[in-house]
């Protein structure tokens, strides 16, 4: 029985990250604090033009406004030159994805939205799926969970020991083989023949080094030799039972070692999609809380057909819009007259009878953000 051997870990200087995602990281300088997913991905190396470190338990990294950030899993580059933001997910890693998100699509009401594009990328984009699948597979306890309903948050935690082994096996790949995240998802995760990332994962042990599950499997020739010896023993004798127990122990240990090995196929694309959509939904919700419309309520006499104005605002008072759209969902009650991203205003007027209620839907995109945020106002029409 031999132990799998691993190189000594490299010492990597990391930054102590902390603070809230409100533009003030709580540090002594003007850096911003971003997060890699709401759940947090811990253990990735990152670098901007001015900052470098390792993401902490909240997935935090630091940057100056306007910088880009690159992420590594050990020595493996995951993403380069991603515009640094308060929140990022693997969906943001690809320049092509970012362009598609900026373009967006339209929802059932004809308003622009980014969420349908996020959903399509999470379900179909091979690079995003492969990266996310690998990160999930390397999670220390194989479980991620958002805080809530009495549960504590459970992040993706990639330990130093796992990264140490990952780097060693990455360097040991045969010449001409490398990890290519743009591969088809099935080819990327292939077990027979083993893809490059499968070769790496098969040699990574997630248990302490002294754990038997980190041993090399017992040789089949050793087991076969014991079985041949067993065939020459009389069943029921002490010698027979001793050999039978040895065979069972060796086979059980091999089974434990095999069960401890992780494969990407254990993390289906549906699981990846669920994780990514959960994270993007939380990010959209948290960022959207910064914005509001005013007045939020209108009570308007049916006889008053003058223009009424809805204003889009942010709590920090620094909102600039790249785009603004609006639509009346029930034009028999209200109609939208005009809107302007520059003034951040939507004008509408009532067309309905007393006792009816209108609904104006707004969709707006702040400067520097690909996300479209939705809001609504429901004017009540009176006598």
Structural domain containing residue 342: 290-382
Residue 202 confidence (pLDDT): 94
Please check whether residues 220 and 297 belong to one and the same domain: no
For the chain, the domain total comes to 2
Is 197 within the bounds of a domain?
no
Is 1 within the bounds of a domain?
no
pLDDT for 26 beyond 60: no
What is the pLDDT averaged over residues 323-333? 97
Is 178 within the bounds of a domain?
no
Please check whether residues 326 and 255 belong to one and the same domain: no
pLDDT for 100 beyond 60: yes
Cα 144 from Cα 275, distance rounded (Å):
8
Buried b or exposed e, range 295-304, using 16+ CB within 10 angstroms:
eeebebebee
pLDDT for 19 beyond 70: no
Q: Which residues contact 122 (CB under 8 A, 6 or more apart)?
A: 91, 128, 129, 272, 273, 276, 277, 280
Cα 139 from Cα 135, distance rounded (Å):
6
Read off the pTM.
0.84
Cα 267 from Cα 131, distance rounded (Å):
12
Q: Rg of the chain's alpha carbons, rounded to an integer?
A: 28
Please check whether residues 294 and 377 belong to one and the same domain: yes
How do residues 129-156 score in pLDDT, each as one tens digit? 999 999 999 999 888 877 666 677 789 9
Please check whether residues 256 and 295 belong to one and the same domain: no
| Structure confidence at residue 251 as a pLDDT band (50, 70, 90) | confident
């Amino acid at each position: 029985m031999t132990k799998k051997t691993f190189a000594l870990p490299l010492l990597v200087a990391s930054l102590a990250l902390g603070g809230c995602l409100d533009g003030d990281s709580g540090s002594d300088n003007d850096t911003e604090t971003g997060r890699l997913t709401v759940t947090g991905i811990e253990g990735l190396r990152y670098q901007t033009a001015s900052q470098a470190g390792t993401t902490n338990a909240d997935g935090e990294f630091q940057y100056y406004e306007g910088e880009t950030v690159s992420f590594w899993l050990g020595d493996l580059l995951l993403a380069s030159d991603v515009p640094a933001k308060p929140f990022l997910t693997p969906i943001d890693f690809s320049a092509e994805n970012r362009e598609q998100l900026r373009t967006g699509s339209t929802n059932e009401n004809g308003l622009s939205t980014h969420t349908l594009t996020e959903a399509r990328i999470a379900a179909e984009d091979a690079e995003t799926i492969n990266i996310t699948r690998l990160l999930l597979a390397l999670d220390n306890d194989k479980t991620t969970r958002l805080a809530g309903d009495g549960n504590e948050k459970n992040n993706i935690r990639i330990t130093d020991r796992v990264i140490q082994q990952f780097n060693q096996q990455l360097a040991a790949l045969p010449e001409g083989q490398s990890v290519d995240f743009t591969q088809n998802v099935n080819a990327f995760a292939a077990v027979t023949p083993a893809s490059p990332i499968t070769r790496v994962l098969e040699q990574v042990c997630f248990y302490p080094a002294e754990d038997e599950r980190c041993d090399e499997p017992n040789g089949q020739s050793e087991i076969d030799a014991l079985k041949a010896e067993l065939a020459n023993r009389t069943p029921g004798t002490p010698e027979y039972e001793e050999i039978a127990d040895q065979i069972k122990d060796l086979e059980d240990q091999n089974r434990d070692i095999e069960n401890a090995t992780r494969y990407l196929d254990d993390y289906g694309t549906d699981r990846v999609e669920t994780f990514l959509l959960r994270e993007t939904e939380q990010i959209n919700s948290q960022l959207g809380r910064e914005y509001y419309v005013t007045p939020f309520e209108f009570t308007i006499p049916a006889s008053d057909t003058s223009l009424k104005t809805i204003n889009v605002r942010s709590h920090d008072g620094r909102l600039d819009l790249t785009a603004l759209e609006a639509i009346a969902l029930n034009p028999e009650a209200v109609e939208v007259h005009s809107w302007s991203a520059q003034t951040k205003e939507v004008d509408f007027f009532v067309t309905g009878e007393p006792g009816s209620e209108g609904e104006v839907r707004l969709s707006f995109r702040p400067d520097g953000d690909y996300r479209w945020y939705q809001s609504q106002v429901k004017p009540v029409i009176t006598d």
